[in-house]
Chains A and B, each alone.
Chain A
């Protein structure tokens, strides 16, 4: 259902759409990646990045760099972009932007809870959290002993609270439970986000439903492969990756993904999925007057940071032959 978005979209969304499209054109290109892949040291990477939008964030770093510093600073750039957009946004775009961070919130919650379970230092864990998924009382998560406590103590104040309704049990937290919790939360989150986008209507609904559906499918397949008996009905009965493939090949969009993989190979699946995801996100920019560009931009930047992390890691560990294994070119 298309409304007359073109008529009124720019009143509130025009400025930010322009901003986000500007940010998008700052994403690294294939030529950049080719240059980055030829780098010999992390300093070379820094030098190359200094000509990109990451320049100001890296220029004050003293010379022996670490991969973590690069990733940290690049993430900082993403966070700054996000915060700037959020400041400028009005309803319902601000809510939409907030929705984007809930995924990180879930990941952070899981990270802290798992970490405390294995008796890690809270400060150390906090440093590892994604800055977009931070909320005030996140450190308090360490206090909780079981799901119910987790909910009652901390999460009730966060936007994640409604998603928790399905997984409040008094069971003690262990790795398995946490993983189930993560996926249940994610499911609830994606569904909620989906509903929200449908409510917005127009091109936003159309494009976001596609992107979110893909995300959900990707997660379902991953869960199946990682042998959690939870997923779509047919997937649920699968026992190894080849069965998953058999199921998935019935659906045209996934056929191409699986076609790239030889039988029995599962490591490359992630990359194949990421490639497909990036393609879809890039396509989101082809239409105007909708919010999916914000979502797509955030995801593309995250993919870019993953790429940079991989490249830096390969360079740092002298594994340059493997550089191309996991880099997903965006343009």
Chain B
């Protein structure tokens, strides 16, 4: 049985000739059965042997990231998986990437330059349009005003009219020549822009702004922003220089504008022409770029994969010790003993291919270090092993509860989830996942789906077992069926047709498999099922706990620990079985004999007054004597668990200590051997009080645990009861009620509600809760009897386990 004990491991030293190092590591990565130890932990990253290669890989990944970013921008998605190997090595790839990067950057720079000019021209065109509009409207206004003024002289004589205006009107030619600046400013900055202009010039400017409706690409940043076209009128050179400075400060682009109509028109055509011209050039540039990116995208994944591999190889190479002569590298690590031949073969192949003069030396090291835990798992067993690992990784070579979990976990789940209708639903879902396994595993799933997919085999087993228990409980969406023949009960006379409690007699043989369908709906249904399920839970619980204790025996035997067998396993077995083993026995006897005895009473008075007569509760002859014996055994078992072990440990330690002091006498002859000997001895301090307290806690925990764990197994009954009651509520109160209305719409609504409730509450929530309870029963009640779980996992260097984060 591979799964019961973890693979035997060995610590291995590899001495790899430096020219074959890269290839050897690469082959080991393909094989994925060697866990390297980091021998350079205290070195900083740039002091390591292969720092320059790591740097180069980092540089190349950066280039790849650049490509990816560019491709994202251009909307080209690289093919997700191109399995084709590009056949490049790192050097060639580096050159190629550099070339491509330079080309891409050049194209980008050119495009940017063109885009810049293009954006400027677009802005210029906007200025020409808007300012031109403004000028023409101003001119129209002015003309109109002029006309008005010409018409007005009659009114002019009135005293109210301002004197200045008169002056103005009389000498219109005298006005100063105003300069103006036009351009674009981003809309959000337009208000502070105006304010600063006003402050800087003390209001001696005229600012006119027009809103551009659509986004404008800013020539400098290339961002799309809302902008305003402005034109500022000013007088004087100093103001002009100020305004120009302010414009620069606000990133407002200025464009020349002529107030002559002819020139305006000429500029407009010129600008439009150039815009059209540039547009075609830019399009050609973009096309060129996207073909280049497509070319890159085609091979992107294979390059990415190669880089990921190379990076991980150099990461491993940096973990190795380099020899003083710089001729070979020293690696240390763990591998399964069974894989040693494979590893040696691969290493030999690597050195042969590299024409290395010496082969890699494969040397097994002796060590006291605890080896990592490694189980060969397959698709089916790995998810069950995960359940155990989630609690704690097994200590090296201790009994692995994962083996039993494969059956007990789905079974305990099914005890709580017993309904073959629901079981079939679960089975269909999980079969979908299993049949499309290959397709789905290559896809990226959501968190929840991923979890369901990962546990598909667990769910399949759970579904199969719930079909089985469902058949025993005789529930199909809470409806009983007469699958295995007719019911054993019948009416004594016709009048009992409506009554559901009394008046039934047994007319045939007992129903052959599971619960008789007649029980459903009777008034005594609940007491009957409760009694059945409660007793069943206790039987299951006691047997599973016994299994746990027996496993602790196998552990002790495997590790040669006699103290644990005699002073832990034996008293524990006696204690548990003399109380709850006896209860199980009583249950079985009661089932077999059909006795009316009250088991509570028996159990309670076994403690309170063991000498009293049992009376009508007696199940078999000599029960009283038997009980007293069991009680005494249980009472003896407690101090047996508590006392001998610490004292024996102490004695053992003292003996070992004595032995060590003797060995010093011989050590004079062979200092090397004694040194190696003393390394193997534990120099742990032996603190008796600590050991004793530890044992005390263990004992108390076990004694109390025997009671509370047995009680804990009653959750099997409780959950199962809740499940069947809930499903019968949904069936009776939703489906049958809707049926009763004789109305199609109500029926449809009822069916929909029933389906939603069944899927949402029973299939999803109930299965989750049953799953959790089954998990708890395994982790706590079962595993605390034997499982140490303080090992660490074997994590070999393997290319298949490289994640996306290692690359980009």
Contact = CB atoms under 8 A, between A and B. Distances in A.
B249 A136 contact: no
A38 B199 contact: no
B199 A48 contact: no
Contact of A153 (B45, B196, B250): B196
A318 interface: no
Contact of B245 (A63, A142, A157): A142
A43 B196 CA distance: 45
A50 interface: yes
A59 B66 CA distance: 11
Contact of B192 (A39, A137, A141, A152): A137
Given A47-B46, A136-B192, A60 B249 contact: no
B189 A136 contact: yes
Contact of B249 (A48, A139, A152): A139
B55 A43 contact: yes
Nearest to A36: B44
B46 A44 contact: yes
B200 interface: yes
B200 A153 contact: yes
A51 interface: yes
Given A62-B62, A122-B248, A122-B249, A48 B192 contact: no
Nearest to A138: B249
B44 A48 contact: yes
B246 A63 contact: no
Nearest to A62: B62
Given A60-B62, A60-B66, A122-B249, A140 B46 contact: no
B242 A38 contact: no
A47 B45 contact: yes
Given A47-B58, A60-B62, A136-B192, A143 B44 contact: no
B103 to A, nearest CB: 15
Given A35-B44, A38-B44, A142-B245, A47 B54 contact: yes
Given A47-B54, A137-B249, A143 B59 contact: no
Contacts of A248: none
Contacts of A44: 46, 51
B609 interface: no
Interface string B177-202: 00000000000010010001001100
B65 interface: yes
Contacts of B66: 60
B46 A154 contact: no
Contacts of A154: 196
A273 to B, nearest CB: 30
Contact of A143 (B46, B54, B58, B245): B245
B246 A48 contact: no
B47 interface: yes
Given A48-B44, A48-B45, A137 B196 contact: yes
Interface string A25-66: 000000000010011100110011011000000011111000
A44 B55 CA distance: 9
Nearest to A126: B249
A11 to B, nearest CB: 32
Given A136-B189, A137-B192, A153-B199, A47 B51 contact: yes
Nearest to B44: A35
Nearest to A139: B249
Nearest to A152: B199
A48 B62 contact: no
Nearest to A121: B248
A17 B382 CA distance: 43
Given A47-B54, A153-B199, A140 B45 contact: no
Interface in A128-146: 136-137, 139-143
A143 B200 contact: yes
A29 to B, nearest CB: 12
Interface string A106-133: 0000000000000000100000000000
Interface residues of A, number: 27
Contact of A142 (B44, B59, B65, B249): B249
Contacts of A139: 248-251
Give the interface centre of B51, B248, B250 by most chain A CB atoms within 10 Å.
B248
Give the interface centre of A51, A140, A142 by most chain B CB atoms within 10 Å.
A140
A243 B199 CA distance: 48
Contacts of A122: 245, 248-249
Contacts of B189: 136
Contacts of A39: 46
B231 to A, nearest CB: 20
A141 B245 CA distance: 10
A39 B55 CA distance: 14
Contacts of B245: 122, 140, 142-143
Contacts of B246: 140, 143
A123 B576 CA distance: 84
A122 B244 CA distance: 12
Contacts of B51: 44, 47
A61 B45 CA distance: 19
A62 B66 CA distance: 10
B54 A59 contact: no
B416 to A, nearest CB: 41
Nearest to B188: A136
Contacts of A38: 44, 46-47
B347 to A, nearest CB: 30
A143 B65 CA distance: 43
Interface in A7-32: none
Nearest to A59: B62
Contacts of A43: 55
Contacts of B44: 35, 38, 48
Nearest to A156: B199
Nearest to B251: A139
A132 to B, nearest CB: 20
B460 to A, nearest CB: 42
Nearest to B105: A62
Given A43-B55, A47-B54, A63-B59, A143 B242 contact: yes
B240 to A, nearest CB: 12
A266 to B, nearest CB: 35
Contacts of A47: 45-46, 51, 54-55, 58
Contact of B58 (A40, A50, A137, A140): A50
B65 A60 contact: yes
A122 B62 CA distance: 33
A62 B249 CA distance: 31
A132 B515 CA distance: 77
Given A43-B55, A139-B249, A51 B45 contact: yes
Contacts of B242: 143
A323 to B, nearest CB: 15
A157 B192 contact: yes
Contacts of A62: 59, 62
B54 A140 contact: no
A139 B199 CA distance: 15
B315 to A, nearest CB: 13
Interface string B239-276: 00010011011110000000000000000000000000
A139 to B, nearest CB: 3
A38 B192 CA distance: 50
Nearest to A32: B44
A157 B196 CA distance: 10
Contact of A140 (B47, B55, B65, B196): B196
A153 B198 CA distance: 9
Interface of B: 44-47, 51, 54-55, 58-59, 62, 65-66, 189, 192, 196, 199-200, 242, 245-246, 248-251
Given A137-B250, A142-B248, A153-B196, 20 more contacts: A35-B46, A39-B46, A40-B46, A44-B51, A47-B51, A47-B55, A59-B62, A59-B65, A63-B59, A137-B249, A139-B250, A140-B196, A140-B245, A140-B250, A141-B249, A142-B245, A143-B196, A143-B200, A143-B242, A143-B246
7 contacts: A51-B45, A60-B65, A137-B249, A142-B248, A143-B245, A153-B199, A154-B196
Q: Which 4 A-B pairs have the closest CB atoms?
A: A139-B249, A35-B44, A44-B46, A140-B249
